[in-house]
């Protein structure tokens, strides 16, 4: 294990992990921010509905939304691993300023893309500035260590979570989505307990975290993002408890963040908006000299 991890390239594009069910009809805070990060009107967004069994329908939905913000959309059509190695499919990414992974099943993304030229091309483009965004399953798949599946519920169990290799766009974070809505804190606790090198990021629906090139996280949207930092775990028995027993997990640091709050992955310190300014009352005038 690489305890420090390589520093991200200063040219790395923003990584946007969305907790699913982002607003698609109102002010669309989260999706409009994706377009803004990709350059605003004139952005070229490659939509990858790879996770979904209804890719055409999802692609049309996002195409219409992104175009309403002035972006151009390209649909990346991958139905087989051969598609993900084909020059025609790879070419759809040329000149894109963002890649957007829809929801579905994260296992589909990595089994179709893992080890292909398309995955490699996205990683390289990301290091050179491509915005990479994903919602729901698409958010989970962005990380190097991915939550493949898991059980709902509060208490962490040895079998709360199954991990699998993801797309590898960030090494230190493990993302979970539909977080509060689907009661997933137990499986995020379990993921962090299994390897405290990872920082858990639990993202609510209609909420996103944006990771910048300096490994700083910013929160946008209407819900919460929960950071579970296992760096100071004192003890856990998750590797030795019986399958039907809850595990103990001592010394977690937890930060519940909302829009305007952030987190520095390098220093593991959260950030928050400045408080009200302290306005000093005017000083009394000095006594006049007599």
Stretch that binds its own copies, among 43-51, 85-93, 117-125, 153-161 (CB under 8 A): 153-161
User: Does residue 250 interact with its own copies by CB under 8 A?
Assistant: yes
CB of 239 to its own copies, least distance (A): 12
Letters for 169-208 (x = contact with its own copies by CB under 8 A, - = none) are ----------xx--x-xx--x--------------x----
Residue placing its CB nearer to its own copies in the complex, 162 or 222: 222
H helix intervals, 23-113: 29-37, 55-68, 87-91, 106-113
d(CA 207, CA 220) in angstroms, rounded, equals 6
Rg (CA), the chain: 21
Which residues have a Cβ under 8 Å from the Cβ of 160 and sit 6 or more positions away? 150, 151, 153, 186, 187, 189, 190, 191
CB-wise, 115 or 251, nearer to its own copies? 251
- Name 6's Cβ contacts closer than 8 Å, sequence gap at least 6: 171
Closest CB to its own copies among residues 91, 256: 256
Residue whose CB is less far from its own copies, 14 or 19: 19
Active site residue 239: no
Taking a C-beta distance cutoff of 8 angstroms, is the pair 37, 14 a contact?
yes
Q: Left (φ > 0), alpha (ψ -120 to 50) or beta: where does 21 sit? A: left
Name the segment binding its own copies (CB under 8 A); options: 78-86, 103-111, 162-170, 255-263: 255-263
Q: How many CB atoms are located within 10 Å of the residue 249 CB? A: 22
The Cα 93–Cα 113 span in angstroms is 14
The only residue of 53, 54, 82, 254 in contact with its own copies, by rule CB under 8 A: 254
Residue 102, CA atoms < 13 Å, CB-side half-sphere: 26
According to CB under 8 A, which residues from 266 to 285 bind its own copies? 270, 272
Q: Active site includes 178?
A: yes
Q: Which 63-102 residues touch its own copies, going by CB under 8 A?
A: none
Q: Does 23 bind its own copies (CB under 8 A)?
A: no
Q: Smallest Cα–Cα separation from 206: which of 142, 258, 147, 264?
A: 258
**Active-site annotation holds for 160:** no
Residue 237 contacts its own copies per CB under 8 A: yes
Residues found near its own copies in the complex (CB under 8 A): 153-156, 179-180, 183, 185-186, 189, 204, 222-224, 226, 234-235, 237, 241, 245-258, 260-261, 270, 272
Which residues carry out catalysis?
A: 136, 178, 205
């Amino acid at each position: 294990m690489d305890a420090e991890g390589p520093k991200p390239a200063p040219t790395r594009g923003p990584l946007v992990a969305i907790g699913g069910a982002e607003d698609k009809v109102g002010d669309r805070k989260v999706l409009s921010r994706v377009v803004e990060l990709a350059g605003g009107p004139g952005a070229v967004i490659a939509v990858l509905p790879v996770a979904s069994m209804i890719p055409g329908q999802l692609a049309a939905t996002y195409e219409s939304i992104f175009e309403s913000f002035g972006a151009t959309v390209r649909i990346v059509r991958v139905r087989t691993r051969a598609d993900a190695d084909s020059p025609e499919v790879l070419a759809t990414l040329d000149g894109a300023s963002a890649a957007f992974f829809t929801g579905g099943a994260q296992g589909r993304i990595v089994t179709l893309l893992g080890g292909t030229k398309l995955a490699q091309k996205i990683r390289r483009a990301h290091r050179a500035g491509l915005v990479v965004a994903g919602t729901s399953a698409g958010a989970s798949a962005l990380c190097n260590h991915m939550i493949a599946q898991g059980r709902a519920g509060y208490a962490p169990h040895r079998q709360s979570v199954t991990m699998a290799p993801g797309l590898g766009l960030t090494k230190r974070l493990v993302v979970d989505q539909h977080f509060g809505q689907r009661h997933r804190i137990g499986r995020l606790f379990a993921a962090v307990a299994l390897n405290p090198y990872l920082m858990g990021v639990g993202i609510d629906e209609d909420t996103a975290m944006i990771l910048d090139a300096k490994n700083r996280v910013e929160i946008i949207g209407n819900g919460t993002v929960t950071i579970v930092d296992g760096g100071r775990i004192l003890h856990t028995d998750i590797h030795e408890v019986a399958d039907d027993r809850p595990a103990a997990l001592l010394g977690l640091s937890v930060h519940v963040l909302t829009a305007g709050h952030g987190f520095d992955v390098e220093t593991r310190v959260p950030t928050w908006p400045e408080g009200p300014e302290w306005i000093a009352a005017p000083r009394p005038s000095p006594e006049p000299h007599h």
